């Protein structure tokens, strides 16, 4: 129950809701409470109305949607946020519960250093301002999986604020163009996670597991629609979405539901709703007209959380007793936005290609390893990795790590193609053989199947002459400037050589013989 959690939020134009926590899975609409390690943050998904959600009909106004997200995400740590109890997935119920987790009288919270570092790292990755001083608060409400009756959170002064995240939106006729968008992050805060409620409908009882909730992601989406230029509409909150796919479906459904309701003369209620993933729709849980009073108060058992940077670090301070923001910044891996920019600049690839390389786990590393070992141009490598290689993976539903074709094998194949040892069609044939997991190299496959391009100039000239004599009408079409005729002649020659003739060399020979 005191597991580590991170909470952040995405806000709409007027509201900001997003939280990251230990990923507790609540069956109720009430807020989560917990003694787990959690970072909470708020971000702004739609500072501007989402015009992609617009609906237009003859004589009607356009609609725009505003969406704010409250995101709860689990922190990777060995122990809980305010206790030394272990965090272990699928542990037997209530086997990892300390006295503090059970809220026994006289027990006190002890802040987990690892969770604070994770919160700072998340804030830096999301371009947030890290507050050198942040505060803890108690948020009071009653629920069975919150034995203390309150949740420790950061309501007044969170650990990080005012960040941003750049993401890509597919656009264009074929949805192949990626347009970069920016979402604002309102805040990130550490927050306890509650326990997990286990509902037994057969016995009409609810059991509580205070180990911690085991979900890794939970999102609450706040959604409203309005006509551009008019005041924002009444928002609804869709609670406890546990996957990106369900989040997208819930938002799309709720936007369309609100539009239909308003166009038919109805009104939108300020309410909490749930998403039924099997039916693909949202359902009302409770209204929110009466604001719940959580009676926030400063947490008396936790002092202010003080962080330092290189300029404010006290002389002689024990590194184990303080957290240095600059030191954490130095450990950050390269952020995806920076990597994408480097790929575009270094290899001249399209922005959408850089997104694909980063979005598939292991694909960027595969691409970079191929680049290191081949003489082929980066654009050709990009084409083969994103089209041929990724196409085969998708077709067989394989991860990059499960590919039978290694970066070295693809690099060797591209070298054969680049040196004009084989044709592009032969290269695809070799790749297909590599995919069969027979342990052969591209060179061995080319040799065994005799796929090398014909390099004998004299033999090719004789072959071209024979094809021209056998197809006088095609030759006449070429001389009459039929643009397709020369390609037909080239195809006939290549067919006679079982595609082993270089089309560039064939074209040069034919043009010379036909005096084109």
Q: Please give, one letter per residue, the 3-state secondary structure of 153-180.
A: ECCCCCCEEEEEEEEEEEECCCCCEEEE
C-alpha–C-alpha distance, residues 41 and 62, integer Å: 32
> Tell me, what's the pLDDT at 51?
40
- Which residue intervals of 169-310 are DSSP H helices? 244-263
Q: Which residues pair with 189 in a beta bridge?
A: 7, 40
CB-based burial label for 29 (10 Å; 0-12, 13-18, 19+): middle
Q: Which of 410, 428, 449 is the last residue in one of the domains?
A: 449
* Same domain flag for 243 and 161: yes
The domain tally of the chain equals 3
Asked whether the predicted pLDDT for residue 56 surpasses 70, the reply is no
Q: Lowest mean pLDDT: which of 232-236, 320-324, 375-379?
A: 320-324
The answer to whether position 59 is within a domain reads no
- The maximal CA–CA distance of the chain, rounded, in angstroms, is 102
* Same domain flag for 188 and 256: yes
E strands within 375-466? Answer: none
- Which residue intervals of 288-423 are DSSP H helices? 325-331, 336-347, 351-359, 363-373, 378-383, 390-395, 407-418
3-state DSSP assignment of residue 389: helix
* Same domain flag for 185 and 227: yes
The answer to whether position 58 is within a domain reads no
> Tell me, what's the pLDDT at 90?
84
> Tell me, what's the pLDDT at 507?
84
* Same domain flag for 121 and 227: yes
Mean pLDDT along residues 371-393: 96
The answer to whether position 328 is within a domain reads no
The answer to whether position 327 is within a domain reads no
The answer to whether position 281 is within a domain reads yes
Domain of residue 491, CATH code = 1.10.10.410
How far are the Cα atoms of 315, 368, 485 from residue 431, in angstroms, in the given order?
61, 19, 31
* Same domain flag for 120 and 260: yes
The answer to whether position 317 is within a domain reads no
Q: Which of 449, 484, 499 is the last residue in one of the domains?
A: 449
Q: Which of 449, 470, 505 is the last residue in one of the domains?
A: 449
Q: Rounded mean pLDDT of the chain?
A: 85
> Tell me, what's the pLDDT at 73?
85
- Residue 493: give the domain boundaries: 457-514
Return the DSSP state at 35.
S
Give which of 308, 103, 306, 295 is closest to 192, Cα–Cα. 103
* Same domain flag for 107 and 241: yes
* Same domain flag for 204 and 130: yes
Asked whether the predicted pLDDT for residue 258 surpasses 90, the reply is yes
* Same domain flag for 444 and 473: no
The answer to whether position 204 is within a domain reads yes
* Same domain flag for 434 and 492: no
CB-based burial label for 270 (10 Å; 0-12, 13-18, 19+): middle
Question: Kind and range of the H or E element at 448?
Answer: helix 442-448
Q: Lowest mean pLDDT: which of 21-35, 188-202, 339-353, 380-394?
A: 21-35
CB-based burial label for 18 (10 Å; 0-12, 13-18, 19+): buried
C-alpha–C-alpha distance, residues 135 and 118, integer Å: 17
3-state DSSP assignment of residue 384: helix
The answer to whether position 310 is within a domain reads no
* Same domain flag for 270 and 121: yes
3-state DSSP assignment of residue 512: helix
* Same domain flag for 442 and 465: no
C-alpha–C-alpha distance, residues 274 and 65, integer Å: 19
> Tell me, what's the pLDDT at 364?
97
Q: Give the pLDDT band of residue 437 (cuts 50, 70, 90).
A: confident
Asked whether the predicted pLDDT for residue 324 surpasses 80, the reply is yes
* Same domain flag for 349 and 277: no
Asked whether the predicted pLDDT for residue 272 surpasses 80, the reply is yes
């Amino acid at each position: 129950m005191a597991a580590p959690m991170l909470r952040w939020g995405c806000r709409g134009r007027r509201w900001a809701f997003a939280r990251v926590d230990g990923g507790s899975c609540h069956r109720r609409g009430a807020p989560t409470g917990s003694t787990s390690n959690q970072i909470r943050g708020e971000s702004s998904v739609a500072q501007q109305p989402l015009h992609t959600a617009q609906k237009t009909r003859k004589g009607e106004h356009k609609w725009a949607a505003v969406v704010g997200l409250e995101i709860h995400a689990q922190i990777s740590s060995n122990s809980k946020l305010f206790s030394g109890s272990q965090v272990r997935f699928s542990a037997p119920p209530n086997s990892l519960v300390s006295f503090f987790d059970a809220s026994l009288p006289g027990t006190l919270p002890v802040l987990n250093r690892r969770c604070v570092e994770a919160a700072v790292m998340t804030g830096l990755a999301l371009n947030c301002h890290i507050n050198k001083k942040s505060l803890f608060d108690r948020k009071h409400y009653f629920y069975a999986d919150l034995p203390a009756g309150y949740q420790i959170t950061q309501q007044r002064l969170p650990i990080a604020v005012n960040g941003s995240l750049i993401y890509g939106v597919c656009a264009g006729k074929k949805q192949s163009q990626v347009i970069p968008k920016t979402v604002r992050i309102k805040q990130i805060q550490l927050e306890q996670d509650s326990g997990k409620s286990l509902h037994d409908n057969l016995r009409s009882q609810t059991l509580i597991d205070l180990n911690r909730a085991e979900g890794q992601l939970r999102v609450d989406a706040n959604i409203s629609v309005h006509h551009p230029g008019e005041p924002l509409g009444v928002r609804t909150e869709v609670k406890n979405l546990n996957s990106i796919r369900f989040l997208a479906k819930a938002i799309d459904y709720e936007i369309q539901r609100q539009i239909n309701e308003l166009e038919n003369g109805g009104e939108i209620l300020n309410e909490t709703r749930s998403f039924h993933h099997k039916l693909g729709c949202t359902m009302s849980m409770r209204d929110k007209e009466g604001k719940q009073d959580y009676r926030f108060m400063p947490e008396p058992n936790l002092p202010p959380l003080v962080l330092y940077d290189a300029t404010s670090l006290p002389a002689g301070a024990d590194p184990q007793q303080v957290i240095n923001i600059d030191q954490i910044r130095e450990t950050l891996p390269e952020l995806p936005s920076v990597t994408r920019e480097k790929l575009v600049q270094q290899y001249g690839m399209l922005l959408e290609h850089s997104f694909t390389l980063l979005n598939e786990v292991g694909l960027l590393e595969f691409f970079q390893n191929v680049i290191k070992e081949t003489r082929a141009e980066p654009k050709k490598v990009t084409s083969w990795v994103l089209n041929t290689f990724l196409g085969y993976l998708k077709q067989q539903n394989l991860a990059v790590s499960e590919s039978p074709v290694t970066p070295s094998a693809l690099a060797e194949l591209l070298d054969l193609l680049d040196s004009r040892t084989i044709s592009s069609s032969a290269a695809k044939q070799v790749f297909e053989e590599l995919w069969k997991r027979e342990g052969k190299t591209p060179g061995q496959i080319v040799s065994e199947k005799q796929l090398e391009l014909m390099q004998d100039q004299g033999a090719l000239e004789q072959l071209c002459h024979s094809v021209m004599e056998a197809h006088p009408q095609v030759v006449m079409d070429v001389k009459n400037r039929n643009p397709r005729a020369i390609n037909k002649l080239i195809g006939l020659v290549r067919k006679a050589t079982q595609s082993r003739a270089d089309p560039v060399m064939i074209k040069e020979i034919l043009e010379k013989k036909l005096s084109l």
